[in-house]
């Protein structure tokens, strides 16, 4: 139910591409190999490709978000994930899979969606969009060793699927990892 677990009539929301269950299971198995005291892999049920982070939005805005998503049309496209990357200055804080094929399409989807959302009075996160799939989060003290270990663990692994739509998700924060709830799916075409 939209808004469950939220306060003040707002929800924490994002739009993403969900991956097929078999691809998620493969990625989650690889992400678990990274787990140490300083590296926390993303939980299997939270694996996705974020298209637009919306942050806190009013529950009453959900129909507007759905309409904006419905106005963004495109054909399904292939996505290939592989190659490791990280975010963090000098020391990785986030370890991710790069988008090797489909990055242009995902970037276009992000731009078109954000334009539609802004036309409805709903803003997207202002950081530059870098298509990626987060595998794990790293504590600051682990430094470069975490990235080296991840690189060795995932070297040469690739994951492919067809992007056939986008999903509005609610992210409920609490003790432990966030819980993501699907609110709306916009299929392509």
132 tagged catalytic: yes
* Catalytic residue (choose from 89, 110, 132, 158): 132
Q: Around Cβ 185, how many Cβ atoms within 10 Å?
A: 13
CA distance 129 to 115: 14
Torsion sign (Cα): 121, 122, 127, 133? negative
Q: What is the DSSP secondary-structure string of 12-72?
A: EEEEEEPPPHHHHHHHHHHHHTT-SSSEEEPPGGG--EEEEEEEEEEGGGHHHHHHHHHT-
Active site residue 158: no
- DSSP structural state of residue 118: H
* Residues designated catalytic: 48, 132
């Amino acid at each position: 139910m939209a808004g469950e677990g939220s306060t003040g009539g707002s929800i924490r929301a994002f739009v993403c591409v969900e991956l097929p269950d078999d691809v998620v299971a493969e990625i989650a198995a690889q992400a678990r190999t990274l787990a140490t005291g300083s590296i926390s892999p993303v939980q299997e049920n939270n694996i996705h490709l974020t298209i637009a982070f919306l942050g806190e939005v009013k529950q009453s805005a959900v129909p507007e978000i759905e309409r904006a998503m419905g106005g963004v049309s495109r054909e399904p496209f292939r996505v290939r994930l592989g190659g490791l990357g990280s975010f963090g200055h000098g020391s990785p804080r986030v370890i991710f899979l790069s988008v090797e094929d489909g990055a242009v399409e995902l970037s276009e989807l992000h731009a078109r969606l954000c334009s539609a959302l802004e036309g409805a009075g709903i803003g997207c996160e202002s950081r530059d969009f870098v298509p990626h799939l987060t595998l794990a989060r790293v504590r600051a003290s682990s430094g470069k060793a975490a990235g080296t270990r991840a690189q060795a663990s995932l070297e040469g692994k690739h994951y492919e699927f067809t992007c056939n739509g986008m999903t509005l998700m609610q992210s409920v924060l609490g003790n432990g990892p966030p819980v993501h709830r699907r609110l709306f799916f916009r299929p392509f075409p």
